[in-house]
Structures are given as structure tokens and as C-alpha cells.
Chain A
Amino acid sequence: MDDQSCPRCKTTKYRNPSLKLMVNVCGHTLCESCVEMLFVRGSGNCVQCDTPLRKSNFRVQLFEDPAVDKEVEIRKKVLKIYNKRETDFPNLRQYNDYLEQVEEIVFNLTNNIDVENTKRLMEHYQRENRDIIQRNKAKLTREQEELEELLMLEQKETEQRRLDTLQEEQRQLLAKKKKKQALLDELESSRLPAMLLLAQHKDRAAQLETQIEIQRQVVKPTIFSTGIPMGQTISLQPVVQMEEVLYRYQPLRINTYGPPVPEFEQLGRLGYLTHVRAASPQDMAGGYSSALACHRALQDAFSGVFPLQH
């Protein structure tokens, strides 16, 4: 969330979260009310850096950091002039060099480094490549138009779908009402017993439903939801098969430097437990058994008995 406050009136940002911050060409922010106030008095100077401003130069801030907004503005202007494309260059290296040039220009203008020189460079470039710039401008407008058309199409489609579903619903409601009405009429007028009529009605309703379902299924989807039309063969790379060595479990072997200890489960059978203090019922309740203490003592006794091979 915006944790910035307007540098002039400071408090109103917190009080009014819907208040927007505006950014101008020098990169400083002002909230909407402050902008109004500033131009009421006729003079248009930035509060922090005192550059003369026009009211039209203020744009609603999109990014949290006003420096970013400033850069975005500058970039837009620069790119209007430096609008060459990759196809305009004979090789990739030159295209990259060109891009690097553009970036330097934008950087210099944003951070107010060498502004004079940079502006001169830009004018120079503009004069030299006037026709290329015009050509690319035309291309750009064409592309933009195409994009806009696509967007419009999409919008229309969604609208259409919405209307369709609405209509469906209405139709269904009507149908239901009609059926109910028909049932009541029949109950009134016909001579057949009521149970039979109800059963007939139910059958007809079921039939209708299945019919509708069949109809819906007939309207087969022609494209997947991702936009790929059905039936199109897409060549995918075959999945690389990786053959790896199967994991084999090796049980852990630890050298205890001593004779082997009898197994925990065998202790009772081998007669060790008779020489250990028996576990009282309180101990057993907690899960203790005399075999545990016995086994531990034996392990400790046998661990490390054999001297190390120095």
C-alpha cells in the first residue's frame, strides 16, 4: 500500500486513502489537492526542486517510487524517437549496441547527468534517421490497431457468452413454469387418477432433460480453453528418457569396537531380564520395560571394549 505522504500537506494521505498522488517531469510527487492548490495561485513551480511546471504535465502515479514514474515518462518520449527494431539491423550485436545506447540516454536523462549533451545527441539522431523513424511509426500504429481489434473481438465474445447464458436461464425458467401450469391443468381436467398423471409428468420432464443434454453435447467445443483449436497436431519434443541406477537399500553398519550385543527381543529368552530390576506398574504405564534398561547397560558395556588398533 502507499506508505507515502504528500510532501506538502503530509497528513491528508493517511486520512484519505483514496487520495491519489500525481507525478510530474521532475520526479516529485504531489497529492491531487496540492496540485489544485499550487495552480490556483497561478505559479507552477515544484515544491522541492523549483522547476517551472505545467498542470498538464501531472500524471497519476502508477508506481510507488516517483523516480520510476519519471523514468517511465522519459522512456516513452525517447522511444518515440528511437524506435528501430531488430529487423532494421544486420546483426544481433549492432541491435544490442543500439539498445545500450538508448538505455544510456534514458539513464542520463532520469538522473540529470549531462542533460545538454544527451539532448543534442537525440536531436542529431532524429535528424539523421527521419525517414526510418516515420516508417517505424507507421508500423507501430498498424500493430496497435491489430491489437485493438483482437481485444475488441474478445470483448464481444465474452459479452455474447454472457447474453447466451442469461437467455438460457430465462428459457429454463419459462419452461418450468409452463410445465407446472400444464400439470395443474391436467389434474383439473383429466379423468385419469392423480398418481398416474404425476408419473406421466415426471417421465416427460426426464425426457426433456435428456434431450437438452444431448443438444448441449452436440454443441461440441472446437477449441481447447488454451486457444489451440482441436484436431491440430502439435509436435512436441519426445520426453527424454533418463536411465538411472536403481537405489538399493544398504542397512547401516556401525562399528562398535566391541563384542556383539544380544538383540533387544532376545533378552528375555536369554535370561538377562532376571538380573535386572523389574519394572513397576507405574513405569510400565509410561512405556518403560526392564528390557530397555538391560539392553542399554549391555550396549554401554560392550561399546568400545576392544582397544583401538594404534
Chain B
Amino acid sequence: MYHNSSQKKFWTFSSEEHLEQLRYEANQRLRAKVLGSARDLTAFSESLFLDPLEEAVLFRHYERRLLDFCTNFKPVMPKSVVGTANMYFRRFYVNNSLMEYHPRIIMLTCAYLACKVDEFNVSSSQFVGNLQETSAGQEKALEQILEYELLLIQQLNFHLVVHNPYRPMEGFLIDLKTRYLTLENPEMLRKTADDFLNRAMLTDVGLLFSPSQIALTAVLNSASRAGINMESYLTECLGLKEDKETLSKMIDSMKRIKTLLKKYEPPNPEEVSTYKQKLERIHTEFIINTNS
């Protein structure tokens, strides 16, 4: 369960600033590493490196690519697998820089590992069959995936179980239907709540809040969009009538989740292509430098 999971202990951070700090540190570490091992220091200038904001843009781009890959996956990938893959991708790049490990491969490795962990049985050949490439290209991709798999697991600190907000959302809907009879048809909330959760996946909320909080926010948000006020659910059914402090804290967290969702901007294609070029250049230079 979430309350004694590794996700709660190690992968739920206190604030967005903390996450920014960690990403910044990863970026710095990589810069130091490259500059430290570079044979020819003149070849490397500070401008060649990506800064955290540029990395964030690229990250969002590749995240979308991951989601597209998962939605077009045959056989149909269950939502929890998609959520898990996304979470792995996000967690990996909290502690590592995009310049060190190219997101294209890591993205596939995350999806592959998520299938295994979530017991969605896909053979490796079936997996790479979903890639839009020649069979030789697919072979090469598979090799790369297998190479990076152990690294990914290591960087996740071997914490492979991810709790997604989908089941809590179902739970809330069941609870609403049974106990909260002021709302006639909770089913109508489902679609908007689903949409909310999909948008939430693209943000950092998974690393900041518990999945049940996200699910609750999704439900309450879709209710308020439909014009229904569901505060009485919180006070009555969740037993928070007396506990004003927890109630206010919960409302606070929900506001924060909503703001995070609003802040999300989809990546700009021009920016993405410029940064991508930079990234490719860094990767080729880096590989040459480490191999030579």
C-alpha cells in the first residue's frame, strides 16, 4: 500500500524547489564530469552544455514521445503500465542529466521495465516490433534497451513499485456512489477526472503528492467544473468535520496540484529542435571523449 511504500519514503519530495535543486545538481555534476575528463578542453565551452531550463523542455518533448509510444502500443497497454513508465522516466531524470544518457533510449527502457514490473507480459521481440524501424534497427534498439536496463534500475535505487492514481480514483468513485448520495451520478465525473489525471502525469505532481491526493483532486475538480460543490464530501465522509487543520491542509495541497497542472506548457517545436541538435552534439562529443 502507499503508506508504507518506498514511493512515500524516498520518492515523494517536499516541494517543487527541492526537485529543481536536484535537477540543477545533476546538471552541474555532469558538467564537472565532462570537463574533468575532457582531453581537449578547448573543444568544450560552457555554451555547449544545456542548462536546466532547456533540459526541461527536451524532457517534456521526450515524455510526450513516450506517451505516444505507449498509446500506440500493440497489444493495448494498461494505464497503470503507462503511468509506471512515465514515473520511471521522471524519477531517472531527477538525479541524472539528459546530456549523460540520451532520453530516446531511456524512454524505451522505461517502457520495457514497466511492462515487466507491472506484469504486462510482452516478449522483447514484440516490444521492439512496435518501433517504427527496420528489423535491424529494432535489433539494435533492443540491444541498447538491455544495456541500459540495469542502469535504470540502479538509478531508481531498486524502488520499482509505483503507485498510480488510477485505482484510488476508482475507489473514490465507488465511495461516492455508496456514501455520498447528494451526488446523483458520479459516473459523469469519470471522464473529466481521467483527463485531469492524464494531464497530471505530464507534471511533477507524482513526485510531490500521494496518488490518492491526486485522485481526490481530480474528482473534486471535475465536480467543480460541473458546478457541484463537494466540500461536504470531505467533511462528512472522510470524517474531517472536527479536524479543521487537516482539512485546510488538504484543500491547500489540492490547490497546489491544480496550479502545477495549469503551469504546464507543451514544448515549443522550434525550441525543441534547436535543443535537440545541441543534445546530439554533446552526446557524440561525449562518447568520443570517453572512448578515446
Contacts and interface: CB of A to CB of B under 8 A. Distances in A.
Interface of A: 254-260, 270-272, 274-276, 294, 296-307, 310
B14 A301 contact: no
Contacts of B169: 301
Contacts, number: 88
10 contacts: A257-B210, A271-B178, A272-B175, A275-B174, A297-B167, A301-B175, A301-B216, A303-B210, A305-B250, A307-B249
Q: Which of A296, A303, A305 has the most CB of B within 10 A?
A: A305
Nearest to A299: B1
B138 interface: no
A20 B213 CA distance: 81
A168 B170 CA distance: 87
Nearest to B169: A301
For chain B, which range describes its interface: under 10, 10 to 19, 20 to 34, or 35 or more residues? 20 to 34
A175 to B, nearest CB: 79
B36 interface: no
Interface string B240-259: 10000010011011000000
A297 B170 contact: yes
A306 B175 contact: no
A254 B4 contact: yes
A25 B80 CA distance: 78
A310 B3 contact: no
Interface of B: 1-4, 8, 14, 163, 167-175, 177-178, 210-213, 215-216, 237-240, 246, 249-250, 252-253
Q: Which of B171, B213, B216, B237 has the most CB of A within 10 A?
A: B171
A310 B256 CA distance: 15
A300 B168 CA distance: 5
A310 B171 CA distance: 26
A260 to B, nearest CB: 8
Given A299-B1, A303-B2, A305-B250, A258 B212 contact: yes
B3 A300 contact: no
Given A254-B4, A259-B239, A302-B238, 11 more contacts: A258-B212, A259-B237, A272-B178, A297-B168, A298-B174, A301-B167, A301-B169, A301-B170, A303-B2, A305-B250, A307-B250
A257 B3 contact: yes
Given A256-B1, A258-B3, A307-B250, A300 B174 contact: no
A300 B239 contact: no
